[in-house]
Structure 1
């Protein structure tokens, strides 16, 4: 079952080498020497930032200074490489991961991609599903769907299994681009893999499907709510109450 499912995943998410084929400004110079994070999840599909999954940290002064230095140097490749080699490489593990999370929070896409690649080359690096989730969310937010698909595919290559949050981030990424069919394919794969849709999954699906008036899909997702969620009626009422109201004549 697992081999069949992952084969299906790979067919849906074709390989696009994130590390090898990145054009500037995403690709790090080969001269840069590479040296857990507190996820902060925010997206236009959500009401606001979600709380970190396991802790909340205040950035250290070192991490704050490196974030500022990266932003100041980002338009000048030689200066940026110097910041990577002279400052980023000296950060403690926790500060390096907090730096990445802060760049993601500020939607500094180019810098976050560079630091993500940098982190993956560190000797202490161990594959982490949540690290991938944050990057998939950021790529989806910026409508870089092929790169989001590539990260999804690389999860398996790093010995990780997609979980509910990974699938939800991919669903959200597709919906950012109005790719309803692909979003529903990802939702189907989520259920087929044994991952249980959660409140965020259903909220993202329902709000977007209702917005484009996909009534049959809305009905199917609502039916799934009753299967997977406790107090589903209360949840559906809450989603409906928070849905933006159409004005007269609006389509």
Structure 2
């Protein structure tokens, strides 16, 4: 539980700083939130990505959509699917990442 508190503090500090758009770093943070079952933090992190004008990639959407669905947050996952479709057209890449997201949430 202490690790989750420290992760939340880190995320709060991160929001206060000026960030460069490093999508790989954000994707790592998203994975961590999903692994810890922190759907709200993952959602908030996605909004931060957009706020700092960082472009989400296929991994970003795959991590979030599959992870949030696994955690039961299907409403926001559905909204992200629509957004991902605007970016990439088809959503085949989600099926490729589906097993990974499910494995992460079951660890």
Instruction: Report the TM-score, using the length of structure 2 for normalisation.
Output: 0.68
User: Paired residue for 1:186?
Assistant: 45
Q: Structure 2 unaligned runs (5+)?
A: 103-107
User: Paired residue for 1:236?
Assistant: 94
- What's the CA shift for 1:223? 1.0
Q: 2: CA distance between counterparts of 1:196 and 1:204? A: 15
2:6 pairs with 1:150: no
Ranked by relative contact order (alpha carbons within 8 Å, sequence separation 6 or more), the top structure is 2
Q: 2: CA distance between counterparts of 1:150 and 1:174? A: 12
Bigger radius of gyration among the two: 1
Q: 1: CA distance between counterparts of 2:65 and 2:56? A: 12
- Kindly report the root-mean-square deviation, in angstroms, between the aligned alpha carbons of the 2 structures: 3.1
Q: Structure 1 unaligned runs (5+)?
A: 1-142, 245-251
Cα 1:151/1:232, change in 2 over 3 Å? same
**Structure with the larger helix share:** 2
SS in structure 2 at match of 1:191: helix
User: Paired residue for 2:81?
Assistant: 222
Cα deviation digits, residues 93-112 of structure 1 (max 9, x gap) = xxxxxxxxxxxxxxxxxxxx
Instruction: Report the TM-score, using the length of structure 1 for normalisation.
Output: 0.33
Count of residues paired in the alignment: 99
